[in-house]
Amino acid sequence: MTGKLIIREARQDDLAALITLFAADDIGGHGDTTDDSAYADYLKAFSAIAAAPDQTLYVGELSGEVAGTFQISIATTLTGRGASFMIIEAVQTRSDLRGQGIGGQMIEFCIAEAKSRGLVRVQLISNGKRKDAHRFYERLGFEPSHLGFKMALK
């Protein structure tokens, strides 16, 4: 990796790069696309995330370009005596930049942020097909602990 990775909140002018990053993901199956007709959907979602007090979308920037992204949400439950924790979502590194430590720096940022906020844990889910990602998360200290379930409504 040449240059220093800068992790910052995503801006609306990052949207095209983020859409391209998600559309290139052939495993996720989220239906992301660079088709211009979908831009309004992405803009609406970006605006909702930016307005939410407990959600933040970040980019990892390298040499002035978006190299990766992730989103965090802070949740509080009654279990654990009202524990608050961080959920990490949508972690992506540009395919041409994988294996250079970008993903690790982004996750380390999340962990440091969670500690600074006094949160009790950091958690994430990963598509069952992403075996390389699972090994990556385990190397960073995450442990598989729960089985997740989803139901598509659309």
Mean pLDDT over residues 46-69, rounded? Answer: 97
Tell me the range of 33-37, 83-87, 128-132, 149-153 where mean pLDDT is highest: 83-87
pLDDT exceeds 80 at position 139: yes
Kindly state the tokens that stand for 80.
Answer: 């654990």
Answer yes or no: are the C-beta atoms of 21 and 71 closer than 8 Å: no
What order of strands is seen across the sheet that includes strand 122-124? 6-9, 55-62, 65-76, 84-93, 122-124
Tell me the pLDDT tens digit for each residue of 92-138. 999 999 999 999 999 999 999 999 999 999 999 888 888 888 898 99
Rounded to an integer, what distance in angstroms lies between the CA atom of residue 67 and that of residue 74?
24
Q: What is the pLDDT of residue 22?
A: 92
Residue 116 identity: S
* Residue 154 pLDDT class (50, 70, 90 cuts): confident
- Classify domain 6-139 at the CATH superfamily level: Gcn5-related N-acetyltransferase (GNAT) (3.40.630.30)
* Residue 83 pLDDT class (50, 70, 90 cuts): very high
Backbone φ and ψ for 83, nearest 5 degrees, come out as -65, 140
Residue 85 or 24, more confident: 85
Mean pLDDT over residues 49-68, rounded? Answer: 97
SS3 call for 46 = helix
pLDDT exceeds 70 at position 140: yes
List the domain boundaries for the chain.
Answer: 6-139
State the distance between the two ends of the chain, measured CA to CA, in whole angstroms: 40
pLDDT exceeds 90 at position 51: yes
Q: Give the rounded distance of the alpha carbon of 34 from its chain centre.
A: 19
**Residue whose pair of structure tokens reads 């052939």 in the numeric block:** 26
Query: Which H helix or E strand runs over 55?
Result: strand 55-62
